[in-house]
A and B are shown apart, each in its own frame.
Chain A
């Protein structure tokens, strides 16, 4: 359904060209949950913004294709993008307090969203809105829809944001760290709801997160980003049980529960390079224990369902 091919989004700043997204290829099928994992500055959010055409100057898509149901969105006119956004593709952001307008009631938010894309009466739009709120587990939806964003708790606001995204039963939802600001028990409620809705409605979902644990529990496939590139992607079990890229392996190994209690964690040394000072070739090589001179070249992405960009993949024993 969604097919990103060598997507490149660069930011042209006075200090230089920041290659935020630098050749990302990723597919999402109907009803599939793909986890996009990375640390701050890895380009995971910009990948999400690029898909729905929300990259503002000085940022620009400079290459690649975004095929959505076969149609390339990169060349599409703004009018066409407006038709798709909020309709076939929806996005959920980290902080719903920033994305909901504080002076509009939830009802206004939702009814306007319905009317923006479909010719229906206000009563019908309202009925659909209440239904969407019920679907995400908001009790007493017919009454609560009259409330304003500040009257909801953080978890409830995020449910409202999800309900708005669901209004047109989109084919694809891009969720950018939607549970990061929430408490553990509330996060679990949202994850449960999202998982159920994806299964029931057959939507594709890109779940952008820095938390491998959340992605492990939720996603079917996972893609790990580092310095603007997907360094490894594949089915969740494959990638987490047999990480090939040293960066993925480092992330998996440094999780506290993967280490013996009280012993030092197996850490990745150093810090992610600033975007303007990325090392040539493999961007991870300066932090990598296995780097050689060969890594001064850009490693190509391997073939197959489970793919990686590394000249010296790990965990290869027992494999051809």
Chain B
């Protein structure tokens, strides 16, 4: 197996609401401090190997975007360490820190809000490599033309503004911008969620093509399990700031270990499942401000036991490269999930 490329070790991240003026005065006068803390990430470990595509899956508020940003070095963790090529990101200085930042690029969900509307495509894509001294300014136009071609856009469009493109084309511009500084590692944060179905397929194909051509490593963040199934080598499933299960994609889709994973797989809308009678997981996704005790999933879990309410399950190896955080694994005989066949259907 290849070396670990990027790694989060015991990473936690808390966001605190900033008190406004009235609240600060109230606290000064002796009122109780009512600042609320969101536990976005709670002791998460994640390792990404060179050349691997890791799919990070979870519902809104589970911390998947926060984890992506921390691994990319955009956000510092509250606790824990982020390593990049074996070195602690927080301790990198000077040239090394700069190189680490250039080597990691993020592609965001909404290309309209991540591209500067007042700049032309040639500047959006070409600015970073010139600023970082990767190429002389006179080569900018040629570089941009090459990148546009690589992501499937007509190089003659380089003097246009972002609003003159369709959603799919804008996402391609976002990808070209990320590629401009020769990164080795791409964090795709819901990069295809906002696109139409026929365009989604095109962008997924582009990601797979680029991986082959440029030897990229991906952290692919998505709520769409069918997309992750298609392109990821390994899947990591998060729930309310914790990893509940991880493992090789095929193993997890064939036999999910955690009840939450099983529920998610059961609910993936797919065109070969017709006239379904839905049997959804009950309950709401709890707020990360005040998550349930023990296993965060226990209020919604059909198999919850007393132990799940008090004790946080550790993420342990369950065979076949799969890891799962569930107390059911300690039972002599664990209950079986009722499950539709999730294995791949070769058309």
Identify the A interface with B (CB < 8 A). Answer: 39-40, 153, 155-156, 183-189, 191-192, 195, 210-214, 216-218, 220, 236-237, 240, 250-262, 264-269, 271-272
Q: Is the CB of A265 within 8 A of B264?
A: no
Is B274 engaged at the interface, CB distance under 8 Å to the other chain? yes
Is B336 engaged at the interface, CB distance under 8 Å to the other chain? no
How many Å from the CB of B244 to the closest CB on chain A? 13
Q: Which 5 A-B pairs have the closest CB atoms?
A: A213-B269, A192-B278, A188-B280, A254-B201, A256-B230
Is B263 engaged at the interface, CB distance under 8 Å to the other chain? yes
Nearest B residue to A268 by beta-carbon distance?
Answer: B198
Q: Is the CB of A217 within 8 A of B278?
A: yes
Q: Is the CB of B223 within 8 A of A195?
A: no
Q: Could you say which residues of chain B place their CB within 8 Å of the CB of A251? A: 197-198
Q: Is the CB of B231 within 8 A of A262?
A: yes
Q: Is the CB of A261 within 8 A of B250?
A: yes
Give the docked Cα–Cα distance between A184 and B278 (Å). Answer: 12
Q: Is the CB of A188 within 8 A of B267?
A: yes
Is B118 engaged at the interface, CB distance under 8 Å to the other chain? no
Q: Is the CB of B284 within 8 A of A267?
A: no
Which of the 9-residue segments B141-149, B202-210, B320-328 touches chain A? B202-210
Say whether, besides A185-B264, A192-B280, A256-B226, A267 and B198 are in contact (CB < 8 Å): yes
Q: Is the CB of A195 within 8 A of B277?
A: yes
Say whether, besides A184-B264, A211-B269, A267-B205, A255 and B278 are in contact (CB < 8 Å): no
Proximity bits, B274-306, A CB within 8 Å = 1, else 0: 111111111011000000000000001000000
Q: Could you say which residues of chain B place their CB within 8 Å of the CB of A254? A: 197-198, 200-201
Q: Is the CB of A265 within 8 A of B169?
A: no
Number of interface residues of B (CB under 8 A): 52
Q: Is the CB of A185 within 8 A of B280?
A: yes
Q: Is the CB of B204 within 8 A of A265?
A: yes
Give the contacts of B247-282 with A (CB-CB under 8 A).
Answer: 249-250, 263-264, 266-282
Q: Could you say which residues of chain A place their CB within 8 Å of the CB of B346? A: 260
Is B166 engaged at the interface, CB distance under 8 Å to the other chain? yes
Q: Could you say which residues of chain B place their CB within 8 Å of the CB of A188? A: 266-267, 278, 280-281
Identify the B interface with A (CB < 8 A). Answer: 59-60, 166-169, 196-202, 204-205, 208-209, 223, 225-227, 229-231, 249-250, 263-264, 266-282, 284-285, 300, 344-347
Q: Is the CB of A39 within 8 A of B198?
A: yes
Q: Is the CB of A256 within 8 A of B269?
A: no
Q: Is the CB of B198 within 8 A of A213?
A: no
Q: Is the CB of B285 within 8 A of A255?
A: no
12 examples of A-B residue contacts, CB within 8 angstroms:
A188-B267, A192-B277, A195-B278, A211-B197, A212-B197, A217-B270, A254-B201, A256-B230, A257-B226, A258-B271, A267-B198, A267-B201
Say whether, besides A39-B196, A184-B223, A217-B274, A271 and B166 are in contact (CB < 8 Å): yes
Q: Could you say which residues of chain A place their CB within 8 Å of the CB of B276? A: 217-218
Nearest B residue to A247 by beta-carbon distance?
Answer: B198
Cβ-defined partner of A268 (8 Å) among B201, B250, B264, B268: B201
Nearest A residue to B166 by beta-carbon distance?
Answer: A271
* Among B209, B231, B275, B345, residue most surrounded by chain A Cβ atoms (within 10 Å): B275
Give the docked Cα–Cα distance between A235 and B199 (Å). Answer: 26
Q: Is the CB of A258 within 8 A of B196?
A: no
Nearest B residue to A192 by beta-carbon distance?
Answer: B278
Give the docked Cα–Cα distance between A205 and B40 (Å). Answer: 39
Q: Could you say which residues of chain B place their CB within 8 Å of the CB of A265? A: 201, 204-205, 230
Cβ-defined partner of B344 (8 Å) among A183, A217, A257, A271: A257
Give the docked Cα–Cα distance between A248 and B346 (Å). Answer: 19
Q: Is the CB of B270 within 8 A of A153?
A: no
Cβ-defined partner of A255 (8 Å) among B166, B208, B271: B271
Give the docked Cα–Cα distance between A259 and B273 (Å). Answer: 15
Give the docked Cα–Cα distance between A189 and B272 (Å). Answer: 20
Give the docked Cα–Cα distance between A251 and B60 (Å). Answer: 27
Q: Could you say which residues of chain A place their CB within 8 Å of the CB of B226? A: 213, 255-257
Say whether, besides A192-B278, A251-B197, A259-B347, A155 and B284 are in contact (CB < 8 Å): yes
* Among A214, A271, A272, residue most surrounded by chain B Cβ atoms (within 10 Å): A271
Q: Could you say which residues of chain A place their CB within 8 Å of the CB of B198? A: 39, 250-251, 254, 267-268, 271-272
Nearest B residue to A267 by beta-carbon distance?
Answer: B201
Q: Is the CB of A261 within 8 A of B230?
A: yes
* Among A40, A210, A262, residue most surrounded by chain B Cβ atoms (within 10 Å): A262
Say whether, besides A40-B196, A186-B284, A265-B201, A271 and B168 are in contact (CB < 8 Å): yes
How many Å from the CB of B196 to the closest CB on chain A? 4
Nearest B residue to A152 by beta-carbon distance?
Answer: B284
Give the docked Cα–Cα distance between A38 and B278 (Å). Answer: 23
Q: Could you say which residues of chain B place their CB within 8 Å of the CB of A191? A: 278, 280
Give the docked Cα–Cα distance between A39 and B200 (Å). Answer: 11
Nearest A residue to B228 by beta-carbon distance?
Answer: A256
Q: Could you say which residues of chain A place their CB within 8 Å of the CB of B205? A: 264-265, 267
Give the docked Cα–Cα distance between A58 and B267 (Å). Answer: 41
Say whether, besides A186-B285, A189-B280, A191-B278, A216 and B201 are in contact (CB < 8 Å): no
Cβ-defined partner of B199 (8 Å) among A216, A240, A271: A271
> 4 new A-B pairs (CB below 8 Å) besides A186-B59, A213-B271, A256-B230?
A188-B278, A213-B226, A240-B272, A264-B208
Q: Is the CB of A261 within 8 A of B229?
A: yes
How many Å from the CB of A318 to the closest CB on chain B? 19
Give the docked Cα–Cα distance between A143 and B134 (Å). Answer: 63
Q: Is the CB of B344 within 8 A of A266?
A: no
How many Å from the CB of B54 to the closest CB on chain A? 14
